[in-house]
């Protein structure tokens, strides 16, 4: 029953961590084994790799690691005008300054927050602002004040189970369609 759900501000349930970009002038920071995520990498709901890789030195000198199970949320970039990239981290990845890593500091599971954020796509699209260079951006104070409702743990687990099943089916159908497209080419 929805009347039993609690409501609070998103910022009360999670932390938002900024990423960074190691200096591109230092070759030793790049071409390592750590996937480095930027807006152009955030194409799917799940993320574990990237075309760009950084080294341990690059991680220590300019970036940050998003742990498995955390959420990556694009907060700045022209891509925000075409959708709101939100990814669940399947394997630890580094990320740049246009992305925030979200992690629960409460009893609410990251996956519940992830699916809730996905469900808020139209609300999020409506509050995208514009930078001085014309790129999209979020005001993090506004994001932290978004009201999130959540039920008791058993109901959250059922919501997560159903959302996972739907997400898995979509990923499987996408893979099948891509395979069929490649076979037809």
Burial of 119 (0-12, 13-18, 19+ CB in 10 A): exposed
Angle at which helices 110-119 and 153-184 cross, to 10°: 60
pTM metric for this prediction: 0.92
Residue count of the chain, please give it: 185
Among 27-31, 139-143, 161-165, 179-183, which stretch is predicted with the lowest mean pLDDT? 179-183
Burial of 124 (0-12, 13-18, 19+ CB in 10 A): buried
Which of 162, 173, 171 lies closest to 47 in space, CA to CA? Answer: 171
How far is Cα 7 from Cα 54, in angstroms, rounded to an integer?
40
Which of 163, 141, 155 lies closest to 6 in space, CA to CA? Answer: 155
What is the per-residue pLDDT across 69-127, written as a single tens digit (0 to 9) for each? 999 999 999 989 999 999 999 999 999 999 999 999 999 999 999 999 999 999 999 99
What is the per-residue pLDDT across 37-53, written as a single tens digit (0 to 9) for each? 999 999 999 999 999 99
């Amino acid at each position: 029953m929805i009347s039993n759900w609690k409501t609070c501000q998103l910022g009360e349930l999670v932390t938002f961590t900024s990423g960074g970009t190691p200096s591109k002038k230092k070759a030793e920071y790049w071409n390592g084994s750590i996937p480095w995520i930027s807006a152009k990498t955030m194409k799917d709901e799940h993320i574990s790799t990237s075309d760009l890789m950084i080294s341990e030195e690059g991680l220590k000198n300019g970036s940050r690691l998003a742990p498995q199970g955390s959420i990556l949320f694009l907060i700045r970039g022209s891509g925000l005008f075409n959708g709101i990239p939100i990814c669940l981290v399947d394997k630890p990845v580094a990320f740049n300054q246009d992305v925030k890593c979200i992690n629960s500091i409460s009893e609410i599971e990251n996956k519940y927050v992830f699916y809730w954020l996905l469900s808020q796509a139209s609300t999020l699209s409506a509050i995208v602002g514009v930078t001085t260079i014309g790129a999209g951006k979020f005001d993090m104070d506004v994001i932290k004040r978004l009201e999130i409702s959540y039920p008791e743990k058993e109901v959250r687990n059922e919501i997560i189970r159903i959302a996972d099943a739907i997400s898995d089916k979509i990923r499987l159908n996408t893979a099948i369609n891509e395979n069929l497209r490649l076979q037809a080419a």
